Amino acid sequence: METAILFSLVIGLLFLGVPVAISLGLASLLVIALLSTDSVSSVALQLFTASQNYTLLAIPFFILASAFMSTGGVAKRIIAFAIASIGHFRGGLAMASVLACMMFAALSGSSPATVVAIGTIAIAGMRQVGYSKEFAAGIIANAGTLGILIPPSIVMVVYAAATNVSVGRMFLAGVIPGAVAGLMLMIAIYIVARWKNLPSEEWKGFGKVLDGGKQAAFGLLLIVIILGGIYGGAFTPTEAAAVAAVYSCFVALFVYRDMGPMKEHPWTLASDLTRAIVGFKAIAYALSFLFVWFMFSFFAEASLSAGFVENRALIGWILAGLILVSYAMWRGGGGIGAVGGTIASGLPIWGRNLKLMARHSLGAFAHDETRKVMVDASKTTVMLMFIIVNALLFAHVLTSERIPDAITTVMLDYGFNWFTFLIAVNILLLIGGQFMEPSGLLLIVAPVVFPIAMELGVDPIHLGIIMVVNMEIGMITPPIGLNLFVTSGITGMSLVAVVKAALPFVGVLFLFLILVTYMPILSTWLPYALMGPEITAR
């Protein structure tokens, strides 16, 4: 009886247009107050407990990191790198857009952010070389969904908080499925490109690829910092999110300078001598190598020999010195005797930029663009956390009323096994995904299906990836598909036109969902290999 009333209240409130968070919280409160033997004081206790969840602290930091990466020039540098890498294939610009979405997804953890950051630039680029607006929009709408599958993912953090599984294992579990989904989309694009004779970019050599990689390096390094730090034992996923937010802010404001008070101040000026620029770059490459060296050696410290750990600073400085001298000789000319003069000529450029950074170090954080990014990230965080807290209250009611146990008993009595159960879960999530935001839907469904999955022997990490993939498809299916609205906004196309454009590639994601559902090794091999299986008490 309580089960029917609880779900009827939630669904009824949603259809009346009540926000998801209020629907979940109000329905839970009414059931506790009127039907349950549970005390109303448990509501306050549960809300306080939910707000103290350490795992959830990762969400605002990942949102802030995503906001800085989306606003800065990281996206255009990633797209340039992707085009240089695979743009020479037939349909290469569209394939490069998918690859760019995959790389940006590993920075942002958000599908809408991926669509906005990559789509704004990539769709315009595809239109210029002869792609139809519909084809370009369909590609970006689908590829943008990888933002919640490729780690780090905000939706994965939400699932981990709702089910008490490991965030680290969830992130690892998304790596192979994310790569497979991106590859399937690129294969589909290549087939369509051969059929429709779509254009390809000119191959400009490995030098262009290397140059694109250098330009995008500071953005892509964030992937290494997050995942390397987590799995190297340097910090927890929550701490990784905080590091990502600080790093993203620093890169956007002080390194790429695409926003903030130094926006009009490039690192080098047209008046700088060529030799001085070579000296400046030699020092920059040496320092960058030193940073990466210390970071990697710190992450891998547990697997290194004691002697290597003790001498890693010396080894790092020696290698950085070799890079400094080699680059100055290669680009500066004049042989070994001219190296000192080349490096010294680059010091004034460093002095000028360091003074500029010092002068704007405080003003950068109070700049209008910085404030806007922080306010937008705060609004998103408050909205999402309000949904999560109320959803956890909903999960508390489910547990206290033993609703999952009752549903499990019914399903087992009807002969459900893991195979048929996963079919039912997919159908439920595909239908629900058409009407609800991913995090809200996941927080409603996960507490119900998770105990049943454990009873039937479904791996909790595998279940999480299945749910995330369903959320992906939900973001590109009407009427509430968020990626459809975002794509419509950046292209100026009607929602119906975007739906028609995205529809052909949705079939690829449906095929991918079947693979993920019934090939658990795609999700579980990497986390099992590196961290072992998830231990969950039934």
Output the pLDDT for position 349. 93
- Cα–Cα distance between 254 and 421 in angstroms, integer? 51
- Cα–Cα distance between 2 and 399 in angstroms, integer? 12
Short-list 465, 506, 532, CA closest to 177: 465
The C-alpha R_g of the chain, in whole angstroms, comes to: 25
Evaluate whether 489 touches 122 at the Cβ level (below 8 Å): no
- C-alpha of 271 from chain center: 40
Short-list 525, 535, 536, 457, CA closest to 172: 525
Output the pLDDT for position 538. 46
166 by DSSP, 3-state: which? coil
Short-list 98, 104, 95, CA closest to 77: 104
Evaluate whether 20 touches 437 at the Cβ level (below 8 Å): yes
Output the pLDDT for position 537. 46
Short-list 120, 355, 324, CA closest to 254: 355
- C-alpha of 343 from chain center: 39
The whole-model pTM stands at 0.84
Side-chain half-sphere of 121: how many Cα atoms within 13 Å?
Answer: 24
pLDDT averages per 10-residue partition of the chain, 538 residues: 78 80 83 75 71 77 85 80 85 89 85 85 83 88 89 88 86 92 93 83 80 85 82 80 89 87 88 91 91 80 64 87 90 81 92 91 87 88 82 76 72 79 88 78 84 87 93 83 83 86 89 93 90 64
- Cα–Cα distance between 103 and 483 in angstroms, integer? 18
Evaluate whether 399 touches 38 at the Cβ level (below 8 Å): no
Cβ-proximal residues to 16 (8 Å cutoff; 6+ apart), any chain: none
- Cα–Cα distance between 301 and 259 in angstroms, integer? 36
In order of 48, 417, 495, 517, 518, the CA distances from 423 in angstroms are 36, 10, 29, 9, 10
Q: Is the dihedral of CA 296, 298, 302, 303 positive or negative?
A: positive
Backbone dihedral region for residue 420 (phi beyond 0: left; psi -120 to 50: alpha; all else: beta) = alpha
